[in-house]
Every structure is written in structure tokens, then in C-alpha cells.
Structure 1
Amino acid sequence: MGRSTSDIKVTLGKGDPAPKSLQSNCMEMKSRTQRSADQQNNDLHLPDNRNDERGQHSDETGEESQMEHKKTCAECIRGFKLFIWNPEKREFMGRNAKSWGVSIRPHVSGFDFTFSASDRSTWSSYVDNMHEFLKAYNDDAQRANNVACTPGEYFFQAGELHEEKKACRFPRSQLQNCSGIEDPTFGFSEGKPCFLLKMNRILGYEAGWGVPIYVTCAVQKGDETDLGPVTFYPKTGHFDLMYFPYYGKLTHVNYTSPLIAMHFTEVRRNHPVTVQCKINGEGIISDSKTDRFLGRITFTVNIGG
């Protein structure tokens, strides 16, 4: 389970000499990466715990700055690798497994999806939200902006940390019956709704540590027959490894997070059904009693006639 910093894919390979560009800009890149990590807080759905130290005395700041510049480039690189992956704390970019949350589409306050299949006004906002969210996943946009990757393999990319990285294609057509292409209502008009699950982005995270993370759904409270069978798209219900690792907003500019669609085709009618969908895999925590968004999402589906 343990990993050394050499397992983390960064600009330098083990034993490689540091390029002059890195020697001269080492500290600048580390600072820029730290700022990039701070910007990921919205993606992670975590409280922003950064301490604003701008009010500290200027003499203290000056002393710290002088000490930083005395570090050798090798020390800088070692520190940066440790920041990316800390094997003792098992943290990526200072975050541990508790950062691994999920979100659901359509987005609705309270996670209560109550609608009548025969009344468009009760579900049209859900459908509009889904189409808006999936615009970036349109097949033509994916072909134009992203590249075809090898399924089942992490997409590691070399180069300087500040260089733009390529992103693997995730065309919405992969979501099949839940793509909104053949059925623009995503099943809501028939009382057979689709929902989309997305993992929060974590910079540098090798999801599943070599084994794809997958999604399961079940009734949280009540009879399992109230939910009925669930069909997942893509068919395997797995987040393919090729969409990891994520290199951050500043360099992975065209990155679109992989999605899993859940299609509920036989939900009990005229009855609130509380459903919990969660991600499963190596290192994933989804049974916390204090954080309901940690590796899982719970929502209610109440379908009228």
C-alpha cells in the first residue's frame, strides 16, 4: 500500500539531472503549484482552510523569504515531490482520502427529486440542468479539444509542470440511454430518470491505485424492490484509469471529469425512495458517519404518474 515519492509522476524522473529552467524557476513553480492547489477547493467541495498570512509582520516575511532562497534546487525538488505525495500521511497535495467526495446531476437543492412523469413543468428544470452540464461533453467538442487514450491505463504526461497537458476524450454518447441524445428528457418523461455521478477532482490522484473505481446504488432505508434494477453507463459502471491523474486547472485546461450515469427504470411510483450511490475502490472511504458526501451521495426520488 505504501508508496515512495518516485512513484509520483513529476517533471523529473529518478536520477534525471535538473534542467536549467527548473533550477532557475524551482521555487517559482512550487509557489505556482501551491496556488493552483488552493484553487481546487471548489472542485473538492471542502471548506477553505487556508490561513491568510498577509497580515504578518513584514520582517518575518522577509526572513522566511531569505531562508527559502538558500535552499538548493535538489531540496526544492524533494520538498515538492513530498508535497505532491506524502507516503507517511498518505496525502496528495496535502489532502487525504477524506477529500474524495462526489456530486450528482441534475443539481437540485435538498437532493429531493420529486416530479410527475406526465407533467413536464415538474421535471423540465432537471433536464435543462443536465443538458447545460453536458455541453462540454458533446462529441464534436471532445473530438476537437481532447485526444483518444488507451483504456485501462493511467495517462501520465511528461514535460514541465507549467506546460499544457492533453485530456482524454469523454464523449457524452458513452452515456448511451442517459446521454440526452436519443432521449432529450433523460428518461424523466417516462418516469425512468437518469442521474450523473462525478468524482471531485484531486490533483495527481491515481484513482483506485491501479484498479478502476466503480459505482453502486442501493436503497438507504426501506425495501430494495422500491428502487428496482439500476443500469450504469458506461456499461461497466467504472471510472476508467485513463482519465487520471488530473494535472490541475492551469495546465489541464480541456479536462472533463469522467462520469457515471445511473438509469433507474423501475422505481416505485408515488412513494419517496431514498437512494444512496457510492464509489468503491482501493483507499476509498464511503461509510463515514459524520460526512454524508464522503465517497457517496444520498438523494430521494419520488415519481408521480
Structure 2
Amino acid sequence: MATTEDKAATKENVSSWKDSIYNPRTGELLGRTACSWGLILLFYLVFYCFLAGMFALTMWVMLLTLDDNVPKYRDRVPYPGLVIRPHALDMAFNKSDPPKYAQYVKNLESFLQRYNDTKQESNEDCPPGDYFMQDDAPEKKVCRFKRSALSFCSGLSDTNFGYSEGKPCVLLKMNRIIGLKPRGDPYINCTVKKDNPIQMQYFPSEGRIDKMYFPYYGKNIHEDYVQPLVAVKLLLTKEDYNKELAVECRVEGSDLCNNDERDKFLGRVTFRIKVVE
């Protein structure tokens, strides 16, 4: 049986535990008076408001240094990569079987929709041979590039882009880089890695990329811009059929980099093609 002293000690412990949460004699809650709680809450309110203000001020100053249309730092990709259409680096098809090359034809036709002559008529007929500078113009104009300039690879006279006759066309373009102005006279040159060279046709003539399509001013203010294209028609013969051919295309004739071993697509692209007879 518990003694009177044990009961008194138990009652005292319960009372001490309750007083640690709220002490009715001193008015303390969790060991602090209302005034103490008010002061510490006021301190943290001022402290976090100061931090929020410093963060907002820092963001505002940083945003003042940015341009909505031009990235602040553009040194990661100083030179453009080369891109191929159809969007495939390994192509194989039977020239006598339309479903086998239909995907390539469809890809090319879809890609060239923006280059239709009817759409390009609304763009500027720029003088060739020099940059089309528009630094002070609020709205940037676009130089005209008609798909008819691609001749036999335009898909207009030959809707199969040469795939049905075993002489396929591929389209090449450079990636967009804001402010790029290539020096020299850039053009595309393709070679096949085999003993006997393969004849090729380039459209426009000699695979030239006219400087009037540069510079590019960015997606926001140069919304309708289209890259100039170079079409390459591979004039394959019977000796070239049933073989996997590796074709490498490079941007030549300018200061654009095309031999960086760390990036195989910088100024060049390699694709493989196999035509089955």
C-alpha cells in the first residue's frame, strides 16, 4: 500500500510536468512569458523579411542584366552542329518496295512544309553575298528560301525524292546560333568512305550556304526564321547497291569548326545508307 509520502511525491511530479507546459503562477507557456514570446516572434519576423527582401533585390538586379532575346553566356556552343533530314543516321531501304522508304519520304515532305514557295513569298528577297544585318530593327525580317531552290531534291518534280530510283536525297542544315556570322564562303561537302568515289549533286549549286541568312536574332524576335538548306543527291549505281555506305558531310570554306574530336556533330555529320536493289 502506497504511503502518504509516496502520494505527495507523485502529485508533486504531475504538477511539475504540467507547470513545464503552462505555469499559472508565472503565466509562462513552455518556459516563456507572453512578452518573451512576442519579442522572439518579432525578431524572426524581421529576420525573415530581411532575407526575403535581400533575395528579391538580388533577383531584380540579376534580371536587369539579362536580355529576353539573347542569352547572357553563349560560349558553350560557339559553332553550329550539322543536322540531317530524314531524321535518321542509319538508312536502309529497297528501292523497289515503296513502303520501305515511305517513312523517309514522309519525313522530308513534312520538314519542307515551312519552305513551300507560297509561304516564302511573304519573306524578304534579300541581296545575296552579304549578311542581313537588322540590329536596330524592332521586328526582324526573314530572308526567302524557297524549296524549289532544291531542284530535284525539292519533292516537287519527284515526290519520292529519288528514293524510288535508288538515288536518294538528304537535306542538311546548320543548327541555329544567335549572332553567328560565318566568315568566308561556307558550303557543304560530302564524301563516301570507300575506294571508288560516288557522284553527288548539290542544291543549291556547289552546296553553297549564302551569308544573307545570317545572323539569326533569336526565337522571340526572329520567329519566322528558317535555316538555309543544302540538298545532296547520291547518284548511286548498281555497284553501290546492297552495300552499307558511310557518308560524311562537313561545312567547309569558312571559320566554322568541323574537326573537333570531342563532338562528332560540330560542323559535320556522318550517316550510313544502304540501298537494296
TM range, normalised to the smaller chain?
0.7 to 0.9
The aligned residue for residue 214 of structure 1 is 187
Give the TM-score normalised by structure 2.
0.74
User: Shift in Å at residue 190 of structure 1?
Assistant: 0.2
Q: Is the 8 A contact 1:97 1:285 kept in 2?
A: no
Q: Is 1:187 aligned to residue 162 of structure 2?
A: yes
Q: Describe the shift of the 1:67–1:214 C-alpha distance in structure 2 as closer, same or farther (beyond 3 A).
A: same
- 2:75 aligned to 80, 95, 98, which one? 95
User: Shift in Å at residue 61 of structure 1?
Assistant: 2.8
The percentage of counterpart residues that share the same residue type is: 38
Give the TM-score normalised by structure 1.
0.67
Q: Describe the shift of the 1:238–1:156 C-alpha distance in structure 2 as closer, same or farther (beyond 3 A).
A: same
Q: Is the 8 A contact 1:164 1:253 kept in 2?
A: no
Amino acid at match of 2:249: C
The aligned residue for residue 235 of structure 2 is 265
Q: Is the 8 A contact 2:192 2:198 kept in 1?
A: no
Amino acid at match of 2:56: G
Task: Give the Cα–Cα distance (whole angstroms) in 2 for the partners of residues 180 and 135 of structure 1.
Answer: 11
Matches within 5 A, 1:54-133: 58=52, 60-65=54-59, 67=61, 93-95=73-75, 98-108=78-88, 111-133=89-111
Q: Is the 8 A contact 2:251 2:258 kept in 1?
A: yes
Task: Give the Cα–Cα distance (whole angstroms) in 1 for the partners of residues 236 and 248 of structure 2.
Answer: 16
Amino acid at match of 2:233: H
Q: Describe the shift of the 1:288–1:66 C-alpha distance in structure 2 as closer, same or farther (beyond 3 A).
A: closer
Q: Describe the shift of the 1:118–1:58 C-alpha distance in structure 2 as closer, same or farther (beyond 3 A).
A: farther
Task: Give the Cα–Cα distance (whole angstroms) in 2 for the partners of residues 295 and 281 of structure 1.
Answer: 11
Aligned positions, number: 223
Task: Give the Cα–Cα distance (whole angstroms) in 1 for the partners of residues 213 and 61 of structure 2.
Answer: 39
- 1:279 aligned to 218, 227, 251, which one? 251
Q: Is the 8 A contact 1:117 1:189 kept in 2?
A: yes
Q: Deviations over 1:53-101 (max 9, x none)?
A: xxxx7455334246559x8xxxx6xx97xx88xxxxxxx9523565410
- 2:206 aligned to 236, 241, 244, which one? 236
User: Shift in Å at residue 133 of structure 1?
Assistant: 0.3
Amino acid at match of 1:102: L
Segments of 5+ residues of structure 1 without an aligned counterpart are 1-56, 85-91
Looking at CA atoms only, which structure, 1 or 2, has the larger radius of gyration? Answer: 2
Amino acid at match of 1:136: R
Task: Give the Cα–Cα distance (whole angstroms) in 2 for the partners of residues 287 and 302 of structure 1.
Answer: 26
Q: Is the 8 A contact 1:97 1:284 kept in 2?
A: no
User: Shift in Å at residue 107 of structure 1?
Assistant: 1.0
Segments of 5+ residues of structure 2 without an aligned counterpart are 1-50
Give 4+ residue runs of structure 1 displaced > 3 Å after superposition.
57-60, 65-69, 96-99
Q: Is the 8 A contact 2:79 2:256 kept in 1?
A: no
The aligned residue for residue 10 of structure 1 is none
Task: Give the Cα–Cα distance (whole angstroms) in 1 for the partners of residues 111 and 218 of structure 2.
Answer: 20
Q: CA RMSD in A?
A: 2.3
Q: Describe the shift of the 1:271–1:198 C-alpha distance in structure 2 as closer, same or farther (beyond 3 A).
A: same
The aligned residue for residue 255 of structure 1 is 225
Amino acid at match of 1:157: Q
Task: Give the Cα–Cα distance (whole angstroms) in 1 for the partners of residues 261 and 231 of structure 2.
Answer: 26
Q: Is the 8 A contact 1:112 1:299 kept in 2?
A: yes
Q: Is the 8 A contact 1:97 1:283 kept in 2?
A: no
